[in-house]
Amino acid sequence: MKKFFTIVPRWLPALLLMLAIFAFSSRTSSELPNFHGWDYFIKKSAHAFGYGALALSYLYMFNWNKKYYWLAWLLAVLYSATDEFHQSFVPGRHAAIADVLIFDNLGALSALLSHFLYRRTRQKAGF
Query: What does the pLDDT look like over 58-82, one tens digit per residue?
Result: 999 999 999 999 999 999 999 999 9
83 in a domain, yes or no? yes
50 in a domain, yes or no? yes
Phi, psi of 42 (to 5 degrees): -65, -45
- Residue 3: closest CA among 55, 11, 19, 66: 11
90 in a domain, yes or no? yes
32 in a domain, yes or no? no
Number of domains observed in the structure of the chain: 1
72 in a domain, yes or no? yes
Cα 20 to Cα 82: distance, rounded to the nearest angstrom? 14
Q: Percent helix, strand, coil in the chain (nearest 5)?
A: 80, 0, 20
Q: Find the domain containing 116 and state its range.
A: 2-27+38-124
Number of CB atoms found within 10 A of residue 82's CB:
12
Residue 6 pLDDT more than 90?
no
33 in a domain, yes or no? no
48 in a domain, yes or no? yes
Q: Is 58:112 a contact under the CB 8 Å cutoff?
A: no
What does pTM read for this prediction?
0.92
101 in a domain, yes or no? yes
pLDDT of residue 1: 62
The CA angle 79-119-21, to the nearest 5 degrees, is: 20
Mean pLDDT of 27-52: 95
pLDDT of residue 3: 72
Residue type, 122: R
Mean pLDDT of 2-19: 86
Q: What is the mean pLDDT of the chain?
A: 94
